[in-house]
Structure 1
Amino acid sequence: MQIDIQDFPLVRMDYSGEGNQTIEETLQIFEQCLQRKQAFVFLAGGADFDKDPGDSVADRRVVSLWMKQHKADLRDYVKAMYYVEPSSVKRLAAKAFSVIYGKFWGHPMIVMQSNDEAVQQAHMLLEQSSE
């Protein structure tokens, strides 16, 4: 996964495998976002929900422990993940996964067809959360 926080409060996540960051680097970037004490959303794409993500058991434990330590901040500041998938077939797989994702992370995963639509909805959600 590659994370880009240049457009914060839009945090872009690319799961396609290009320029992968380590789990430690990823969690450090997440912490930087949480330390801003400001609502933000994830904009993501590139995952293949039909394949095993290949995460090691150790990585999953690290993420789970990190989440427990940051549960309150995650709940307060992360408003949603907008997952962009142009393919209708892959969107169905993403929508099925979104239920598991929401239970695990504590915020919704909203599957969208286009990046423009996702960005527009993300901005609306962020405006609502700042009121």
Structure 2
Amino acid sequence: MQIDIQDFPLVKMDYSGEGKQTIEETLQIFEQCLQRKQAFVFLAGGADFDKDPGESVADRRAVSLWMKQHKVDLRDYVKAMYYVEQSSVKRLAAKAFSVIYGKFWGHPMIVTDNRDDAVRQAYELLGLSSE
């Protein structure tokens, strides 16, 4: 996964595998977002976000432990993940996965087929203008 926070409060997550960051780098970036003490959303896309072949058991444990340590801040500041998927089959799978995702992370995963719609909805959720 590659994370880009240049457009904060939109935190872009790319699951395509290009420019992949280590789990330590990823968690450090997440922590930087939480330290801003400001509401934000994830805007994600890319292939098979729920199946990272490079993710080890140790990586999953590190994420789970980090999430537990930051649970309150995650619930306070992360308002949603908007996942953009153009394939109707993958979108259906993502919608099914979104239930598990929401229970684990504590914020909803909203699946859409259009990035512009996702950005517009994200700004509305944050109470901001998208212009």
TM over 0.5: yes
Does 1:71 find its partner at 2:71?
A: yes
Does 1:122 find its partner at 2:122?
A: yes
The two structures have a TM-score, normalised by structure 2, of 0.93
Does 1:53 find its partner at 2:52?
A: yes
Q: Residue 91 of structure 2 corresponds to which residue in structure 1?
A: 91
SS at match of 2:127: helix
Shift of 1:89: 1.1
Any residues of structure 2 matched to 1:21-60 within 5 Å, and which? 21-48=21-48, 52-54=51-53, 55-60=55-60
Residue type at the aligned position of 1:53: D
In the aligned structure 2, how far is the partner of 1:65 from the partner of 1:41?
A: 21
Q: Show structure 1 runs of 4+ deviating over 2 A.
A: 51-54
Q: Residue 82 of structure 1 corresponds to which residue in structure 2?
A: 82
In the aligned structure 1, how far is the partner of 2:51 from the partner of 2:40?
A: 28
Residue type at the aligned position of 1:81: M
In the aligned structure 2, how far is the partner of 1:66 from the partner of 1:94?
A: 23
SS at match of 1:18: coil
Shift of 1:27: 0.2
Shift of 1:52: 3.7
Residue type at the aligned position of 2:125: L
In the aligned structure 1, how far is the partner of 2:60 from the partner of 2:13?
A: 18
In the aligned structure 1, how far is the partner of 2:51 from the partner of 2:84?
A: 19
Shift of 1:53: 2.3
Of 53-62 and 67-76, the range deviating more from structure 2? 53-62
Shift of 1:47: 3.0
Aligned-residue CA RMSD in angstroms?
1.3
- Cα 1:126–1:22, aligned 2, differ >3 Å: closer, same or farther? same
How many residue pairs get aligned? The number is 127
Structure 1 unmatched ranges of 5 or more: none
The two structures have a TM-score, normalised by structure 1, of 0.93
Percent identity between the aligned chains?
84
Shift of 1:48: 1.4
